[in-house]
Each structure stands twice: as structure tokens, then as C-alpha cells.
Amino acid sequence: MNSLNNKLNDEYMDYLFDCILSLKNKEECYRYFEDLCTIAELKAMSQRMHVAKMLTEQRVYNDIVKLTGASTATISRVNRCLSYGTNGYKLAIERLKEQHE
């Protein structure tokens, strides 16, 4: 186990992540996550990713609230993760950006 966060690091999380890493395309992701999560959970995760992307683009809170519907508390939480977290958001955003270049 090589997790940066020992609170999450266990065999169940490893299995979850192994399952996610086994998915081959967006259609498989839709199918898997629709079974795994509620619609509200998926919407919340996708909203947080969009907020993170906008924060890395130096967008201001008011614009982010208007465009995403996220609360300022959610935006602050994501911003804290971007500033003091494990760089998970940044890693994913940068990799996706590289794929589209």
C-alpha cells in the first residue's frame, strides 16, 4: 500500500481503486459509478472537480458560485485541498490538460 493518507489506506480502499483503475473508457466509468454512488454523490464529486479546475484557472469565488452552483463552503474546502492537500486535484487536472494538448 502506497497511499499518502494512512487514514484511508486499507485493503478495501485498495480494492476500490484497483476496480476504478481497471475501467477502460468513459462508458465503463458511467456504468461503474452509477452502480457505486448515488446521483447526488456523483454530482457533488463532479462539482468539486469543476470547482478545482476553475480555482486553478484563478477564477474568483463569485464566478465559480454562478457557474457551478457550488456553495462558498465547498469552494473553500476545495481551495484548501489545492493549497494544503496531497495535490490529487492538481495531478488529475494537469494530466487531463496534457491529454488534450
pLDDT at 5: 62
By CB atoms closer than 10 A (0-12, 13-18, 19+), residue 33 is: middle
Looking at the fold, whether 3 and 45 belong to one and the same domain comes out as no
Which three cell numbers, joined as nine digits, stand for 56? 486553478
Looking at the fold, whether 92 and 43 belong to one and the same domain comes out as yes
Looking at the fold, whether 27 and 60 belong to one and the same domain comes out as no
Looking at the fold, whether 92 and 52 belong to one and the same domain comes out as yes
Contacts of 99 (CB under 8 A, 6+ apart): none
Q: Which residue has the cell 448515488?
A: 38
Averaged pLDDT of the chain: 94
pLDDT tens-place values along the chain, 101 residues long: 444 567 788 899 999 999 999 999 999 999 999 999 999 999 999 999 999 999 999 999 999 999 999 999 999 999 999 999 999 999 999 999 999 98
Query: Residue 3: which domain range?
Result: 1-36
Give the C-alpha separation, 86 to 14, whole Å.
Answer: 17
